[in-house]
C-alpha cells in the first residue's frame, strides 16, 4: 500500500474512535509537555547564569586565599589567608598581561544615613575595580586615585543601599556613617542585579581600600584580588603569569600554592554545569510520562486488533499481505503518538511561558528540544506499536474471518 493510503486509512480508523484516541494521546501530550517545560526551565536557568556571570566583569580573574597544604592535607580555597596589599601591588607592577588590578577588603557594617540605617557589605577597592567589574555609575563619579592615596572618607553606594537610605533623593554629597566613621557619598552605581547564587550585587558600599584597611577592617590580610586582561585570549596566559608572580611574592619554593586563581569562564562553566545537570535530571523524570503514554498506546492498539480481527481477515482474503497489515497498524500507532507529540509541544511551550510569567523565572524553549521531543514521541509510537501490529499481521485469514 502507498504511504498516503496508509496514513489515510489510519486517520479514518482513528476518527471512528475519537474519544478513545484522545485519551490515548493524553499520556503522550503530558509527557512531551512536561519534557518541554523542564528543559525550558533548565535552559533558561543556564542562560540566566551566563548573563549573571558576564555581569560580574570583563575578562575577570579572581585570586582568593587558600589551597595551602598543612600536614599533607589541602585546606581548600579561602581556608588560609596570606593575601596582602603587597601581592596586589606586585601583580600590578610586574604583570605584562593584566590591564587592571584591585585588592578587595571585605567587611560588613551598619550604614547610617538619609532616612535610616541599612546593613550592607562594605568593600575596600582601588580605582581599577570599576574597569574590572565593568560597572558604570548611575549618578556621581567613581573616587579618584588621589582619594585612595590620601585615604579619604568617600563612599560609593550600590543601588539597593541608595534606595533604602535615600529613597527618592540623590545621595551624592550626603553623609553616611560606617562604623561611626563619617563618609561622603560621591556616587551611586548602576543596577547589576543578582548573582547566580542569588546574592544581590547592588547591596554594597565601595570605599578606597586604604581607608577600609585603616578605618574599618583593621587587619593586614585582604579578602581577594581582582584582575582583568585587555583581551579574552590573554586570560590563560595571564593566569600562568599571575601564578608565578604570586609564588615568588609568597616565597613558596617547592611548596604548594597557598592561593587559588580562577577566571570568569571557569566560574560560568561551574555554575552552568550544575544547571545543565538539573535540567537533564528534570527532563529524565518527565520522560517517564512518555513511557507511560507509550504503554497506553500499546494497550489501545491491542484492543483495536481484537476488535478488528474480522476486518483484518477480509483484507488478507482479498490479497493484503502480512507486511501490509503490520504497516497499517504501525502507522496508526505513529500517527497517534506524533499527533500527541505536536499537541504536547504546544502545551509545553505555553506552560513554560506561564511558569515564567507566574514565577519570574527565565525560561527558554529551544527548537532542538522541540524537534527531539516530537521525534521521541514518534519513536515511542514505533516501539510500543510494533507488538500489536505484529500480532495483527500474524493472524490467519480463515481464523480471522471466523472470529466473533
Query: Residue 118: which of 128, 108, 106 has the closest Cα?
Result: 108
In angstroms, rounded to a whole number, what is the distance separating the alpha carbons of residues 135 and 123?
14
The model's pTM: 0.60
Cell of 78: 579561602
Q: Mean pLDDT per segment of 10 residues, for the chain of length 404 residues?
A: 67 75 82 83 73 67 73 48 88 93 92 88 94 91 93 95 90 92 94 75 94 82 90 89 93 87 71 64 70 82 77 74 77 84 89 84 79 82 83 72 58
Tell me, what's the pLDDT at 19?
Answer: 79
Which residue ranges make up each domain of the chain?
3-52+272-402, 83-249
Tell me, what's the pLDDT at 197?
Answer: 61
In angstroms, rounded to a whole number, what is the distance separating the alpha carbons of residues 190 and 138?
5
Cα dihedral 302/308/314/320 (nearest 10)? -40
Cα dihedral 274/277/279/285 (nearest 10)? -140
In angstroms, rounded to a whole number, what is the distance separating the alpha carbons of residues 123 and 110?
13
In 163-172, which positions are buried (b, 16+ CB within 10 angstroms) versus exposed (e)? Answer: bbbbeeeebb
Tell me, what's the pLDDT at 88?
Answer: 93
Residues in the chain: 404
Q: Are 205 and 165 in contact (CB under 8 A)?
A: no
In angstroms, rounded to a whole number, what is the distance separating the alpha carbons of residues 131 and 142?
11
Amino acid at each position: 500500500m502507498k504511504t498516503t493510503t496508509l496514513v489515510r486509512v489510519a486517520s479514518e480508523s482513528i476518527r471512528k474512535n475519537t474519544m478513545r484516541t484522545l485519551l490515548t494521546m493524553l499520556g503522550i501530550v503530558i509527557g512531551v509537555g512536561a519534557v518541554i517545560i523542564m528543559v525550558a526551565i533548565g535552559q533558561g536557568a543556564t542562560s540566566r547564569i551566563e548573563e549573571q556571570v558576564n555581569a560580574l566583569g570583563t575578562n575577570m580573574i579572581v585570586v582568593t586565599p587558600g589551597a595551602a597544604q598543612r600536614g599533607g592535607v589541602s585546606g581548600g580555597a579561602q581556608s588560609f589567608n596570606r593575601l596582602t596589599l603587597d601581592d596586589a601591588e606586585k601583580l600590578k607592577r610586574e604583570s605584562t598581561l593584566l590591564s587592571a588590578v584591585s585588592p578587595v577588603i571585605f567587611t560588613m557594617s551598619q550604614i547610617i544615613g538619609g532616612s535610616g540605617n541599612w546593613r550592607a557589605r562594605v568593600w575596600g577597592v582601588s580605582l581599577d575595580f570599576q574597569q574590572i567589574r565593568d560597572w558604570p555609575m548611575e549618578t556621581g563619579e567613581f573616587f579618584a586615585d588621589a582619594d585612595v592615596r590620601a585615604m579619604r572618607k568617600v563612599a560609593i553606594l550600590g543601588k539597593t543601599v541608595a534606595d533604602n537610605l535615600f529613597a527618592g533623593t540623590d545621595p551624592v554629597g550626603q553623609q553616611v556613617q560606617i562604623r561611626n566613621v563619617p563618609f561622603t557619598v560621591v556616587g551611586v552605581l548602576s543596577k547589576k542585579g543578582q548573582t547566580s547564587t542569588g546574592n544581590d550585587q547592588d547591596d554594597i558600599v565601595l570605599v578606597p581600600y586604604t581607608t577600609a584597611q585603616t578605618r574599618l577592617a583593621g587587619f593586614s590580610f585582604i579578602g581577594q584580588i581582582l584582575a582583568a586582561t585587555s583581551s579574552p585570549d590573554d586570560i590563560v596566559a595571564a593566569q600562568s603569569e599571575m601564578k608565578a608572580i604570586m609564588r615568588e611574592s609568597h616565597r613558596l619554593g617547592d611548596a604548594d600554592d597557598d592561593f587559588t586563581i580562577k577566571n570568569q569562564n571557569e566560574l560560568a562553566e561551574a555554575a552552568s554545569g550544575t544547571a545543565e545537570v538539573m535540567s537533564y535530571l528534570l527532563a529524565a523524570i518527565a520522560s517517564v510520562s512518555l513511557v507511560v503514554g507509550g504503554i497506553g498506546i500499546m494497550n489501545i492498539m491491542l484492543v483495536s486488533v481484537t476488535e478488528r480481527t474480522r476486518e483484518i481477515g477480509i483484507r488478507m482474503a482479498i490479497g493484503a499481505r502480512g507486511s501490509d497489515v503490520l504497516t497499517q497498524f504501525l502507522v496508526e500507532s505513529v500517527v497517534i503518538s506524533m499527533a500527541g507529540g505536536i499537541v504536547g509541544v504546544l502545551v509545553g511551550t505555553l506552560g513554560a511561558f506561564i511558569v515564567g510569567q507566574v514565577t519570574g523565572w527565565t525560561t527558554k524553549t529551544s527548537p532542538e528540544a522541540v524537534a527531539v521531543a516530537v521525534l521521541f514521541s514518534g519513536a515511542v509510537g514505533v516501539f510500543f506499536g510494533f507488538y500489536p501490529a505484529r500480532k495483527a499481521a500474524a493472524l490467519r485469514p480463515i481464523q480471522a474471518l471466523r472470529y466473533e
